[in-house]
Structure 1
C-alpha cells in the first residue's frame, strides 16, 4: 500500500473529486433562471447552473439523507418516550474565511433545499447580526478585531439556537447592515416555523476554550446537525478579498451613507494597498488563529480552486 493510500485509509475523511461528486446528485433535475442565479451569488463570486448542478445538487442529496435519518431517529425516540413532541428543525452550520464564498454557498443551499419535493421551509441566518454593536466594540477597544470570536454576542446566538432546537415557532434574528457596518437597533429578521435553519458565519465551528472558565460550556456548533467548511488557500482568499474591495470601492463605497465611503476616492494603487493592509492586520490573523483550525471539525469540506469554483470535496466518514 502506498503512503497516499495509507493516509487515505486512516483519514477521518473521504476525498472525492468533482467528477466523482457530480455523479451523486440523486434525482434532482431542474434549472434556475439567470435572475435567480444572479440573486444567489455575492459580489466577485462567479456562479452558474453547472456549479449548482455538479456541486450543490449532490450536496443537497446528501443533506436530505441526513435529514431523513434525523427525522426517523426523532420519531423513534418520541415513540420510545411516548411523547408527542414536534420535530426540531435541522440546523446546518457553514463556516470559512472572509471572501471564501460562504454566503453564496448558504444562499444556494437554501434555494435548492427549498425546491426539494416536500418543499421544506428553509431559513438562512448569518451570524453578523450577533456581532456586538460598534459602540460596544469601541468601548471594549476591540473595533479592529471585528469578526474575531470576542466580537460576537455568543450568549445571544446560543440562546437563539436553543430556541430553534426547542421548537419555538416564531424566532427573531438581529439584522446587520453592511452599508452602516453595524447591527441595526430594533430591526429583526422574522423566522416562523422553519424545517431547516442554515447558520452561516466565519467562526461558527469555533470552540472557545478559556482557562479562566470553570464548569460546563456550550458551543454554537453543539446545535448543528451538519456542518460545512468552505475552504480555499490563503493566496486565493487574499486575491478574492482585494478584488472584492476594488469592486466595492466603485459601487457600495460611493454611497455617502456607507461606513467605508472614505475609501471611495482612493486611487487603484492606494485601494490595493489598503485592502492588503486590512487583510494582514485583521483577516489573516483571524483566519490562521481562529477560522482555519476549525476546518476539520466540519462534516464536509468544499475545496475551491483559484476560479472560485469547487474542485473537490472531503466528506467525514460515518
Structure 2
C-alpha cells in the first residue's frame, strides 16, 4: 500500500508546523504582554512563536467547535419546543507525565478567555481525584500512583455528571504537589462555567474491571479532546530534567514530600529518577496512556525541547 493511500485511510488530517501555522486567522487576542513564565511548566520552553504558530490556531479551531455546539443547543431547543439548561463545553487534555499537559492546558485556557464571546473558562486537573496517600498505602498502590486504579473514578464521574447536568455550582477536590497528597478541607469551586478544561494522564482511558455493560468512559463527558504526544526518549529526558530542577527548587522546601531527594547526591538522585521512570511512568505510559492516543480529536506531536512539530485533527 503506497504512502498516500495509507494516509487517506487515517482518521486524522495531518499538518506539519508550517502548514498548521498557515491556517491561523487574524486575531485580536493581545499577546505582546503575555506572561509566558506564568503559563509554562518547570522545564517547558514556551515561546511567543509557539503560541502564535501552534496554540492560536488550536484556539481558533476550538472556537468553531464551541460556537457550533452553542448553535446546535439553540436549534435543538427550538425543534423540541423546550428550554433545556445550558451545560458547559468540556475539553479533555491527556498525555504522559512530563509531556507538557499543564502548560498546554493553561495556554488554551488563556486563549479561550480572550475569545470575543469572553466565555468563563475553568481548568481542573484530575490529580485532585487521586485517592489520598493513606488509602493508596493501605491498598499497596503508592508505587502505582497515576495508574487507573489509583483514582477515585466514581468521584470524577460524579463531578463530570454534575457539570453536564447543568448544576450551577460544582466542586472538585484539590491536590498539592508540595505535599504529594489531596488537600483536606479545600475544594475548587466552579460557578456556571461556559467551558471547563479537564487535564490529566487518565482522561481518555477506558473503565477498568468493568462488571456492568454500560460503564461510561470519562471521555464520554467531553465535547473535544486533545492528546499531547512525543517520542518516549524525549519524555523520559524531560521527566529526568524536571526531577533535577525540582531538586534545586521545590524539593528544598522542608514541607515537600520529596525533600529527601534534595539532600541526595546527584548520582543518587538520578538513580532514583531512573527507577521511578522505569517502574512507574514508563509502565503507565505503555500500558494505560499511549493506547488512548487515537481516541483524541486532536493530537499535538512534540519534538526536541518541547517544540511542536505536527498537529493531527480527527476527520469529521
TM-score, normalization by structure 2: 0.97
2:197 match? 198
Q: Please state if 1:301 is matched with 2:295.
A: no
Work out the CA distance in 1 between the residues paired with 2:182 and 2:146.
13
Alpha-carbon shift at residue 32 of structure 1 (Å): 3.1
**8 Å contact from structure 2 (residues 173, 186) kept in 1:** yes
Shift of 1:215: 3.0
Higher mean C-alpha deviation, range 120-129 or range 161-170: 161-170
CA positional deviation for 1:130 = 0.4
- Any conservation in 1 of the 2:29–2:115 contact (CA below 8 Å)? no
> Is contact 1:304–1:311 with CA below 8 Å preserved after alignment?
yes
Secondary structure of the residue aligned to 1:185 is strand
Q: Which residue number corresponds to residue 104 of structure 1?
A: 103
Aligned residue runs from structure 1 range 95-174, under 5 A:
95-174=94-173
CA offset at residue 256 of structure 1? 0.6
Q: Distance in 2 between matches of 1:29 and 1:48?
A: 19
How well do the aligned residues superpose, as a CA RMSD in angstroms? 1.2
Identify the range of structure 1 (248-257 vs 23-32) with the bigger mean alpha-carbon deviation.
23-32
- 1:270/1:95 CA distance change after superposition, 3 Å: same
CA distance in 1, matches of 2:163, 2:24: 29
TM superposition shift of 1:34: 5.9
The within-5 A match list for 1:11-160 is 11-32=10-31, 36-160=35-159
Contact 2:88/2:166, CA 8 A, preserved across alignment = yes
Offset from partner CA, 1:55-105 (integer Å, 9 cap, x none): 111001110111111111111111122111232111000000000000000
1:256 aligns with 2:223: no
User: Distance in 1 between the 2:200 and 2:248 partners?
Assistant: 26
Asked if the contact 1:174/1:187 (under 8 Å) is kept, the reply is yes
Contact preservation (8 Å) 1:31, 1:49: no
Q: Supply the distance in 1 between the matched residues of 2:208 and 2:270 (Cα, whole angstroms).
A: 36
TM-score by length of 1: 0.97
How many residue pairs are counted as aligned between the two chains?
A: 316
The 5-angstrom pairing of residues 304-315 of structure 1 reads 304-315=302-313
Aligned twin of 1:233: 231
Q: Indicate the SS of the match to 2:304.
A: coil
The unaligned stretches of length 5 or more in structure 2 are: none
Residue 177 in 1 paired to residue 176 in 2?
yes
Q: How far apart, CA to CA, are the structure 2 residues paired with 1:74 and 1:30?
A: 27
Which residues of structure 1 form unaligned runs of 5+? none
In 1, the alpha carbon distance for the partners of 2:89 and 2:256 equals: 36
* CA–CA separation in structure 2 for the residues paired with 1:156 and 1:144: 22
Cα distance in 2 for partners of 1:134, 1:290 equals 21
Runs of 4+ in 1 over 4 A off after TM superposition: none
